[in-house]
Each structure stands twice: as structure tokens, then as C-alpha cells.
């Protein structure tokens, strides 16, 4: 029976997004327990520093899942060679620290102004929280994306394609529609905050064109470019709203927390008690 590599790619994407949602759920809990509307500067700085270990844990989980996904593909591909050594791109917590501060800056400033004027800052605080969750998701998922792309150096592969999470923006849909044209030497994975797309390795012996990519290419051509594609998606969304993300963000039950993530959370609890 032929291997459905597209189905494997979609399953991998869903698992990555699910794992990232667990990190985001932990960050929601941390935010709700840490942010003080009466002292936003201090409490956000505290939240940000305590969120960094969660993001690092998420990156480790994402990278491990990507490794398992590629090994599974390699195992059923008929190829017998060893997997390529992957050059690890440098990543530092300061990257996440900077982006969390950047995306939360404006809504937090508005929240502070509203509070000082005697108003309710809740709406702006929610915007700030959603912004940092979106930024964290990008940092977490990039670890797995980079791992998959790095492993395409393995003999018998060479290319990769983009896989959408089912609710892509026009930019992501355009990149999906280019099909399996990407290589580790010619393209890096372009992602934005909240992006749920993933990378799918393409064997040298397969076309690599998924039905999703063909549909995306057709829509891009119908719109005659990115501007037209945005208009098509906007009109469709007005008629039928875009479906919710693959995994909604919610609070986690203790039994749902990954062991590595549970360890990080326990350390944070001890830090708060100290």
C-alpha cells in the first residue's frame, strides 16, 4: 500500500499545534496569576521572565516531535541511509524576551492610560495576552520547522513543502501554493506570530504536490497575485467565517501537562512562593 505522505504531514502539523497550545495554555495561567493591572511594568517584566522557560520547553518538545516525524517518514520510505546531521541554528531566550516586549508594548501602554483615567483596562490586557501567546507560538514551532528542514539534507530528500494548519492567511496560502520548491540552501521557513504552518520533507521520488498546495496555487492564480488572494479570502470570510484554529487555547488539567512542562511549571510555582 502506498504511503500517504500528505496525511503524515497533516498529522504532524496537528501534533505540533496541539503541543504549542499546551505551552500557550500554561502561559495563560501564568499571565492570569502574574499580571497586576495596578503595576503593569513590574508584573509584565516578571511574567516575561517566567514565560521564557515555558517557551524553551516548548521548543524542545517541538524539535523532538519533528525528529520523530522525520524518522517515521524515513522508516517507511524505503531509504536505508542514515539521517543527516542537523546544524542547530543559534537561538537565545533574548529573542523571545524582545518579541514578547515588542508585541505587548502598545496594548499595555493603552491599558495603563485607561487605568489612570479611571477606566477598565481589561480589553487591552486581553489584547496584550493574545499578542504574547501568538509570539510564543512562533518561537515554539520554529524549532520543529527548522529541525525538519535541516533533516532534508538526508540523501533521498532535498526539498520541502509548506503545510497549512487549515486556516492560513493569504501570505501563508501563497507560500503553500508554491509547492515543493523549497530547499535548505535556498529558503528558510517564513513564519509570523500565530502561524500554525509546518514543513513537510519531500522525497526525490515523489512529486510533493498535495491537494492543499494545488488548491492554494489555483486561488493565487485566480486572484492574480497576493493582493487579489487577500480579497478572495476576505470575501469568503465575510460569507463563511474562517474555522477556528486546529486546537483552541484553554486551561490545562494537571493530567494533560507534558512531564517536561510540568517540571517547568513546578519551578515557577516555587519561585513565586520564594
- According to DSSP, the residues that pair with 202 across neighbouring strands are 159
- Give the Cα-Cα-Cα angle 58, 71, 257 (nearest 5 degrees): 30
- Give the model's pLDDT for residue 135: 97
Position 108 pLDDT exceeds 80:
yes
Cell of 59: 521548543
The mean pLDDT value for 178-183 works out to 95
- Give the model's pLDDT for residue 196: 94
- Give the model's pLDDT for residue 252: 46
What band does 267 get if pLDDT is binned at 50, 70 and 90?
low
Say whether 162 sits in a helix, a strand or coil: strand
Question: CA 98 → CA 93, 166, 189, distances in Å?
Answer: 9, 29, 20
Contacts of 216 (CB under 8 A, 6+ apart): 164, 168, 173, 174, 176, 177
Cell of 9: 504531514
Rounded to a whole number, what is the distance in angstroms from the first to the last CA of the chain? 58
Question: CA 186 → CA 52, 85, 225, 249, distances in Å?
Answer: 31, 18, 22, 34
The mean pLDDT value for 246-271 works out to 48
Contacts of 138 (CB under 8 A, 6+ apart): 99, 191, 192, 193, 194, 195
Question: CA 42 → CA 38, 120, 216, distances in Å?
Answer: 10, 19, 45
Distance in angstroms (rounded) separating the CA atoms of residues 67 and 149:
11
- According to DSSP, the residues that pair with 198 across neighbouring strands are 163
- Give the model's pLDDT for residue 238: 83
pTM of this prediction? 0.85
Is there a contact between 22 and 256 (Cβ–Cβ < 8 Å)? Answer: yes
Residue linked to cell 492570569: 32
Over residues 204-236, the pLDDT tens digits come to 999 999 999 999 999 999 999 999 999 999 988
Position 97 pLDDT exceeds 60:
yes
Amino acid at each position: 500500500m502506498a504511503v500517504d505522505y500528505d496525511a503524515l504531514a497533516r498529522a504532524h502539523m496537528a501534533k505540533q499545534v496541539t503541543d504549542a497550545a499546551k505551552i500557550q495554555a500554561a502561559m495563560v495561567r501564568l499571565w492570569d496569576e502574574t499580571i497586576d493591572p495596578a503595576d503593569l511594568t513590574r508584573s509584565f517584566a516578571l511574567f516575561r521572565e517566567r514565560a521564557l522557560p515555558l517557551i524553551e520547553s516548548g521548543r524542545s518538545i517541538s524539535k523532538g516531535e519533528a525528529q520523530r516525524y522525520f524518522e517515521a517518514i524515513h522508516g517507511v520510505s524505503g531509504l536505508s541511509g542514515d539521517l543527516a546531521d542537523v546544524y542547530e541554528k543559534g537561538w537565545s531566550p533574548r529573542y523571545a524576551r524582545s518579541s514578547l516586549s515588542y508585541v505587548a508594548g502598545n496594548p499595555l501602554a493603552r491599558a495603563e492610560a485607561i487605568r489612570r483615567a479611571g477606566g477598565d483596562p481589561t480589553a487591552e490586557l486581553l489584547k496584550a495576552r493574545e499578542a504574547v501567546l501568538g509570539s510564543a507560538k512562533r518561537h515554539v514551532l520554529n524549532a520543529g520547522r527548522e529541525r525538519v528542514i535541516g533533516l532534508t539534507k538526508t540523501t533521498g530528500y532535498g526539498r520541502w513543502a509548506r503545510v497549512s494548519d487549515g486556516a492560513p492567511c493569504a501570505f501563508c496560502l501563497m507560500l503553500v501554493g508554491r509547492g515543493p520548491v523549497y530547499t535548505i540552501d535556498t529558503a528558510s521557513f517564513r513564519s509570523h506570530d500565530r502561524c500554525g504552518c509546518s514543513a513537510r520533507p519531500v522525497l526525490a521520488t515523489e512529486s510533493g504536490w498535495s491537494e492543499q498546495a494545488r488548491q492554494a496555487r489555483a486561488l493565487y492564480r485566480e486572484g492574480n497575485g497576493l493582493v487579489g488572494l487577500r480579497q478572495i479570502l476576505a470575501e469568503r470570510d465575510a460569507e463563511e467565517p474562517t474555522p477556528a484554529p486546529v486546537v483552541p487555547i484553554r486551561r490545562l488539567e494537571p493530567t494533560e501537562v507534558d512531564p517536561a512542562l510540568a517540571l517547568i511549571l513546578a519551578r515557577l510555582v516555587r519561585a513565586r512562593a520564594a
